[in-house]
Amino acid sequence: MLMKKNNSQKHHVFANRDHGKGSALSFLDSEGADLKRLYKEADRIRHIHMGEEIYIRGIIEFSNICANDCLYCGIRASNHAVNRYSMTAEEIFSTAKAMVFRQQTTVVLQSGETPGIDDTEMGEIIRRIKKETPLAVTVSVGNRPYDTYRHWKDCGMDRYLLRFETSDPELFGRLHPDCTLEERLECLYALKELGVQTGSGFMIGLPGETVDTLAENILLCQKLDLDMIGIGPFIPHPETPLGGEKNAYEGNEEMFFKALAVLRIFNPDAHIPATTAYDAVFPGVGRNLALQRGANIFMPNDTPVGHRKDYLLYPGKPCVDESADQCASCVLMRIESLGRTIGKGHGHSIKNHRRNSEHGRHKHAG
């Protein structure tokens, strides 16, 4: 292992920002003192590029109605055990409005993939939130046509989240009866072309993946030059075709954090959230550890409590019985306990090209 050899070589490896697959695989193989160093380095790079501020982006899971059948997902169309819901535009708006008082500066609007709320209505919701609150708006509702993304951008959408899930086209195909990896990537390129801050990412440990896939996933994030990167462990949901499968790293859960640390080292200036799935695997501490190993964003759940149990993408999702207020104060305590501060501004992308188009848009959005 490159890292295990000697100090000068180690520093050389970390100092080289143009990392390739060999060093990704080597880092993912770290153990003992090398692993500690890997985490320390990820935290140092996070500190240098992203600072001590943790931005809080509240998620509203506004509908679990989904037309797709992704094999891993608890709200897939074929899971008839799910009680389907869709919040009204008014409910979404009032939920978003309440976030302003919880030090949350971005609202993330997420749902299944469906015309549960149609594209025009979605545009109106974006426009209203941008006009009547100071929140930045992130949308996460799956693959959509270019013109829809453009319309939402015109309405004021700041960012979009759409994970590529895995960089292995064959594995992607097996898991997604409704779309190809190529189509997913086309959506990401469209968003980037439109000047929307673009977030993507992947699941760690999908059945059939190898550490090689994991390294390729990290490299794809780097290649896509993403503004935000969300990753999290795959957790089998019993009511899905993968219910009987195991996470590829079962018994080696440390890999979830190694992946995060390497992701930060390879993507120094991307926003990286400590995703909820880390807490599902390591209750109460997963997201804290993620924030100390590369992450700089926290995404509390602002979904009205009555709907939370119906948006179970995977079992063991935390905070299902808590109110948005309880979640919000828990988050503040967690950030304080880490000695970090809460981000005051929007926490937009720090990548220059996107930030510039951001300024242009804000002039119009007011």
Which residue number places its CB atom closest to ligand SAH?
Answer: 314
Contact 357, 332 (CB under 8 A): no
Instruction: Tell me how far apart the alpha carbons of residues 72 and 278 are, in angstroms, rounded to a whole number.
Output: 17
Minimum separation from the CB atom of position 228 to ligand SAH (A): 13
Return the closest-CA partner of residue 28 out of 1, 49, 10: 1
Binding to ligand SAH (CB under 6 A) within 205-234 occurs at 232, 234
The only residue of 28, 129, 277, 297 in contact with ligand SAH, by rule CB under 6 A: 277
Q: Does 314 bind ligand SAH (CB under 6 A)?
A: yes
Contact 198, 227 (CB under 8 A): yes
Return the range that interacts with ligand SAH (CB under 6 A); candidates 44-52, 140-148, 175-183, 339-347.
Answer: 140-148
Determine if residue 208 is left, alpha or beta; phi over 0 gives left, psi from -120 to 50 gives alpha, anything else beta.
left
Q: Which is nearer to ligand SAH, 140 or 148 (CB)?
A: 140
Residue whose structure tokens are 């995060």: 260
What the block records as the tokens of 277 is: 């799935």
Minimum separation from the CB atom of position 199 to ligand SAH (A): 10
Q: Does 162 bind ligand SAH (CB under 6 A)?
A: yes
DSSP codes joined into one string, 147-169: HHHHHHHHTT--EEE---B-S-H
Return the range that interacts with ligand SAH (CB under 6 A); candidates 160-168, 169-177, 281-289, 337-345.
Answer: 160-168
Return the closest-CA partner of residue 66 out of 142, 122, 120, 123: 142
Binding to ligand SAH (CB under 6 A) within 53-82 occurs at 72-73
Instruction: Tell me how far apart the alpha carbons of residues 113 and 268 are, in angstroms, rounded to a whole number.
Output: 31
Q: Does 278 bind ligand SAH (CB under 6 A)?
A: no
Minimum separation from the CB atom of position 340 to ligand SAH (A): 25
Return the closest-CA partner of residue 350 out of 262, 225, 261: 225
Distances, alpha carbon 172 to alpha carbons 168, 237, 259, 273, in Å: 6, 18, 19, 23
The only residue of 226, 313, 319, 327 in contact with ligand SAH, by rule CB under 6 A: 313
| Residue 327 parent element (H or E) | helix 324-337
Minimum separation from the CB atom of position 61 to ligand SAH (A): 8
Q: Does 113 bind ligand SAH (CB under 6 A)?
A: yes
Q: Which is nearer to ligand SAH, 23 or 143 (CB)?
A: 143
Q: Which residues bind ligand SAH (CB under 6 A)?
A: 72-73, 110, 112-113, 140-142, 162-163, 165, 203, 232, 234-235, 237, 277, 313-314
